[in-house]
């Protein structure tokens, strides 16, 4: 099979589909990143888990929202089995569409200072983790180098056009609502999530990954004061405790932390789908691919 790679990201590699140049093969590796840094260690099965969760989530919303997913690819090299999505090739928009459903993190810190979050005034006497009266759409740039930057409504309109900006907001909030209801029915809380969109002609299409622990913050049950994070927050908290926030060499990850991170991703997949991850195709051998 002759393959041409067209992109290498922190976690994923993108290849032209040899059977259809209008499609791409997106391969999820076992790499893990935090604070915009790809760490040296691999998390076994992480790429397969991201693929399994994203595929289930795309299928969940497909009746309401156009998505790029064509299928979970099986006609691929053995090392890619279970970690490859065949997707439509799109003209991607340079925006990360973040939707926030709960008062946590920097929003909680801002609220404690002046009663606002992301420039919005909020009701008084909200607790940590309380749902916002309505989910907040807080888009950012999609930086290839460095950190993403917040985009206000005017800036987003200048970047993609006012009509498209409104469509991005509406579609992002719609997808978040669909996913949050699904998570809630399974005993999970979708705290916030990142979406990306591309254009097929002039039609807006949901792309990249959705609902994975890499692209969302997820909690088992309700938040409370000591939430059980089922995403990369576990890793970020450990790194911060070790004094790492993206500058300098990262500390080596303990094997028990790597195992716990894998276990939490498994919990998300099995809780959402009701299926055992042991049944998902592919090898459990770690796969690092090519680093960006």
Q: What is the pLDDT of residues 98-150, one digit of tens each?
A: 999 999 989 999 999 999 999 999 999 999 999 999 999 999 999 766 678 99
Residue entry with tokens 């990954």:
209
Supply angle C-alpha 122, 206, 80, rounded to 5: 120
Instruction: List the domain range (segments joined by +) for residue 23.
Output: 4-90+271-277
Task: Give the SS3 label for residue 52.
Answer: helix
Q: What is the pLDDT of residues 235-283, one digit of tens each?
A: 999 999 999 999 999 999 999 999 999 999 999 999 999 999 999 999 9
Residue entry with tokens 């309401």:
64
8 A C-beta contact, residue 8 and residue 16 = no
Task: Look up residue 250 and give its DSSP letter.
Answer: P
Same domain, 63 and 103: no
Count of the separate structural domains present in the chain:
2
Residue 243 lies in a domain: no
At residue 179, φ and ψ (nearest 5 deg) are -70, -40
Task: Look up residue 221 and give its DSSP letter.
Answer: S
pTM: 0.96
C-alpha Rg value of the chain to the nearest Å: 19
How far CA 88 is from CA of 49, 91, 201, in Å, comes to 21, 10, 12
Q: What is the pLDDT of residues 163-219, one digit of tens each?
A: 999 999 999 999 999 999 999 999 999 999 999 999 999 999 999 999 999 999 999
Residue 165 belongs to a domain with what CATH number?
3.30.470.20
Same domain, 106 and 67: no
């Amino acid at each position: 099979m002759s393959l041409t790679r067209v992109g290498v990201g922190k976690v994923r590699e993108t290849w032209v589909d040899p059977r259809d140049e209008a499609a791409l093969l997106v391969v999820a590796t076992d790499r893990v990143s935090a604070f915009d840094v790809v760490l040296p260690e691999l998390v076994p099965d992480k790429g397969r888990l991201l693929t399994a969760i994203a595929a289930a989530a795309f299928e969940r919303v497909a009746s309401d929202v156009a998505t790029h997913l064509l299928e979970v690819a099986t006609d691929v090299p053995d090392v890619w089995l279970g970690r490859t999505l065949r997707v439509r090739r799109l003209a991607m928009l340079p925006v990360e569409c973040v939707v926030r459903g709960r008062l946590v993190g920097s929003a909680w810190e801002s609220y404690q200072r002046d009663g606002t979050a992301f420039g919005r005034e909020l009701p008084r006497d909200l607790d940590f983790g309380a749902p916002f009266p309505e989910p907040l759409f807080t888009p950012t740039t999609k930086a290839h180098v460095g950190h993403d930057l917040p985009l206000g409504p005017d800036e987003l309109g200048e970047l993609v056009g006012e009509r498209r900006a409104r469509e991005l907001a509406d579609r992002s909030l719609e997808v978040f609502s669909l996913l949050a209801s699904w998570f809630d029915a399974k005993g999970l809380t979708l705290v916030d999530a990142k979406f990306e969109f591309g254009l097929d002609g002039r039609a807006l299409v949901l792309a990249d990954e959705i609902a994975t622990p890499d692209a969302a913050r997820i909690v088992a049950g309700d938040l409370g004061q000591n939430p059980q994070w089922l995403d990369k927050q576990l890793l970020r908290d450990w790194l911060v405790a070790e004094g790492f926030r993206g500058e300098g060499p990262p500390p080596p990850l303990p094997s028990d932390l790597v195992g716990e991170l894998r276990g939490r991703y498994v919990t998300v997949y099995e809780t959402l789908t009701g299926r055992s991850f042991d049944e998902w195709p592919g090898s459990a051998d770690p796969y690092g691919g090519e680093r960006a």
